[in-house]
Chains A and B, each alone.
Chain A
Amino acid sequence: MGLRQIVDKIKPTFSEGGKLGFLHSTFEGFETFLFVPNTTTQRGAHIRDCNDIKRVMIVVVLALVPALLFGMYNIGYQSGIEEILPAFWFGFLKMLPMIIVSYVTGLAIEFAFAQKRKHEINEGFLVSGLLIPMIMPISVPLWIVALSTAFAVIIGKEVFGGTGMNVFNPALLARAFAFFAYTPKMSGEAVWYAADGQTGATALEQLATTGEMKWSVMEAFIGRIPGSVGETSTAAILIGAAILLFTGVASWRIMLSVFAGGLAFAYLFQAVGVDITMIDDAPAYYHLLVGGFAFGAVFMATDPVTSAQTNCGKWIYGFMVGALAVIIRVINPAYPEGMMLSILFMNALAPLIDYFVVERNIARRKKLIKNVK
């Protein structure tokens, strides 16, 4: 194994006391990426399942690929390129710099923190780093991508202690930061197109103002509509959802209940009739097809760290994510999209939901004492 010998040879340089010892975590990050370490179990169970966090994260990245590929094609398509391959190539070239900027910024910060804390590098950013460009408008300047990524990783994650300790979904936090700090570059009718001078409202904006959109349901489902790169194709997102659900990486309880909550409230508003925006005039299921609803439900709401952790809590959390997203869409004329704020809000509430679920468990246990005595 030639590669292994090279790694073994340079390892002392990067180990404590070596010339480049300060890069210990970084070296280890690369080493464990190349090789599953030879660590054996020392305490507890002697054998272990071969699943690890790297695999979990890589499955999520894999699940994102269909939406990413379609998103690249759609960038070209929205810019007026009809043929598939040229459209895809156009979008690929537009998208690549965003992905690189997001990964480089985020990973550099992650590596620096891991180094400082003498931790192993966590794999969580492999997913976040891809999610961030996928939920941005394609025309967003690269410096905003870099800045919001840095904000999300430092303020959203590292100050809480890193992966596993964060309260908010880092990718959504990056988007929220960009959205509120640089609103003109993140919303409006021009940001969704890669070509200069092109404008046009998204399906969601059209629905909010007129109650109708100019695309057919099928086109919205396939995703040939303007929007953030990853969010437009419900079909591609569903392929990703299938991967996540089949592998068990994402919680089916959350996914199902987000859709259920969204649909329930969409039908409710339709039945009641609210005249703040016009979106409740459109069929209720449109909510699931346009904007970031499907993408958020599949890839964002299901983030295990920031969602509810108990099974019962997941039902409540998911339902409220869906419901809130629709509420914001229907009765808040300022933001056509509600998914981002809805998930972030429920991220903040998830620990509270879990608290009550766990309290019930404790109450059951305490009742036992009374029964006996």
Chain B
Amino acid sequence: MSKNIKLRKGLDINLAGKAEARLEVAPMAKSYAVSPLDYENVTPKLLVKVGDKVEAGSALFFDKNNPRILFTSPVSGEVAAINRGEKRKLLNIAVTPDQEQVAKAIKVVDPAKAERSEIVEMLLESGLWTRIVERPFGVIANPDAAPKAIFVSAFDSAPLAPDYNFMLKEEKAAIDAGMALLGRLTEGKVYLSARKGAEGFMSDVKGVEYNTFEGKHPAGNVGVQIHHLDRIAKGDIVWTVNIQDVAIMGRLVLTGKLDMSKTIVVAGSEAENRCYKRIISGAAIESIVGAVKENVRVISGNVLTGRTTAADGYISADANMLTLIPEGNVYELLGWAMPRFHRFSVSRAYFSWLCPKKQYKLDTNLNGGERPFVVTGLYENYLPMDVYVSYLLKACLVKDLDKMENLGLYEVLPEDLALCEFVDPSKIEMQQILRDGINLMIKES
């Protein structure tokens, strides 16, 4: 039975720079990259060197913690650079694409007939396994684990997020195939959750437990959906997959070839051509938005949880959008005492409540200095979960593993706390504190 779940808590930040519903095909980029930094807890071990020829689907590196997990090239071409940062940390592997794209021959099996282990092997070999996220902890799924359920969110509620119905309008068959494939990976259910009133074709997808959600952001966060559909208790494992990656998996099954193209949206007040773009995963930013002006921040993902990306960098593997907003590295005279009509606040100490329809052009200024926890009762209004945010964060800060577990560490990922971080007048780095807490828990368990 499908349910409709109505969430009262949350916030839709009305940002300027929404994209038009128009699809463009981005030109082939000069280079594509795969980065281990797009994933949590991966220790990369290289499999290629500069100058090697690769095909789309050839492994570039694997995870030392689990050598079965391969990270593959999205395009065929030549390994152009292995970029390293401080202490020789691997930043990314850049591949210059060939004119003619060749995909590596992968042993594609029919999910309906094959053994589960064969399906797992196919996903591992193609590199698509890295797109399956395991909770607790938000890491790449362990191929040996048996998840109690798999969750897919069919909408993104973050600011300026793409409309999945538009983004995926050609992908119905691929999504059907992808969902059938996911169904073979778990003994439990595959949950698909759409936004009430914007269901699109999602209600027709077969073989899933279909539900709808209504409410403000973070209603589209899969973590919030899990909390309301089948909470994660200690010892549980669930997997989540972004629906665009479900489509890519489905495409592999349907066509027998790895095709890493996807649709993203380019949005934000500083983006010049705001629309949907068809790209290949890992494309250079320049190929998507052209040259970026000074003092503009390029974000792979949304403004709350995305990664800061250099203008000469590459879009993150998990990003379905690029957001361009102005940097806020300016001083503001007596800002804290001013009316600040152009800035947004959930607090009525400012005046945003007067114009709820206004679109705000927000920059990256922190708008204050970091302070200890002072206000109470605020964060819980922006997280529709039965979790005491400040208590959980304090447990993370003092590294108390028992408390972290008891207070809900297994149920949340940093993205779920992003709104709390946004509204916090103490400017506490909640996502980072939680991430550090999760990493500590992984290390200790």
Residues of A that sit less than 8 Å from B by CB: 1, 3-4, 32-41, 43-56, 58-59, 120, 122-124, 161-165, 246-249, 251, 253, 304-305, 307, 309-311, 314, 358, 361-362, 364-366, 368-369, 371-373
Contact = CB atoms under 8 A, between A and B. Distances in A.
Interface residues of B, number: 76
Given A3-B333, A37-B366, A311 B377 contact: yes
B429 A49 contact: no
Nearest to B348: A247
Contact of A40 (B303, B365, B406, B421): B365
Q: Which of B335, B350, B387 gathers most chain A CB within 10 Å?
A: B335
Nearest to A47: B362
A45 B374 CA distance: 20
A51 B233 CA distance: 35
B304 A45 contact: yes
Contacts of B304: 45-47
Interface string B36-63: 0000000000000000000000000000
Given A4-B333, A37-B331, A45-B419, 15 more contacts: A1-B333, A34-B334, A37-B368, A38-B330, A40-B329, A45-B305, A51-B349, A53-B426, A54-B368, A122-B371, A165-B372, A251-B377, A314-B377, A361-B386, A369-B235
Nearest to A373: B235
A95 B422 CA distance: 40
Interface majority SS (helix, strand, loop, mixed), chain B: loop
A164 B373 contact: yes
B374 A364 contact: no
Contacts of B370: 120
Contacts of A3: 333
Given A37-B366, A365-B408, A51 B346 contact: yes
Nearest to B368: A52
Nearest to B403: A362
Nearest to B372: A164
Contact of A35 (B332, B372, B421): B332
A246 B388 contact: no
A45 B365 contact: no
B374 A163 contact: yes
Contacts of B375: 56, 304
A43 B432 contact: yes
Contacts, number: 220
B228 interface: no
Given A4-B333, A51-B345, A55-B336, A45 B371 contact: no
30 contacts: A1-B331, A3-B333, A36-B332, A36-B368, A37-B368, A39-B365, A39-B369, A40-B328, A43-B429, A43-B432, A44-B414, A47-B363, A48-B367, A48-B422, A48-B427, A49-B345, A49-B425, A50-B335, A52-B367, A55-B337, A55-B350, A55-B425, A164-B374, A248-B347, A248-B348, A248-B349, A309-B390, A358-B388, A361-B387, A362-B407
Given A48-B422, A52-B368, A35 B331 contact: yes
Interface in B361-404: 362-377, 380, 386-388, 390-391
B200 interface: no
Contacts of B323: 46
Contacts of B7: none
A32 B427 CA distance: 15
A234 to B, nearest CB: 24
A44 B366 contact: no
B411 to A, nearest CB: 8
B407 A361 contact: yes
A305 B375 CA distance: 7
Nearest to A162: B372
Given A45-B303, A314-B377, A51 B350 contact: yes
Contacts of B312: none
B98 interface: no
A36 B377 contact: no
B424 A365 contact: no
B344 to A, nearest CB: 7
Given A43-B429, A361-B407, A364-B386, A37 B369 contact: yes
A251 B374 CA distance: 13
Contact of B13 (A47, A310, A368): A47
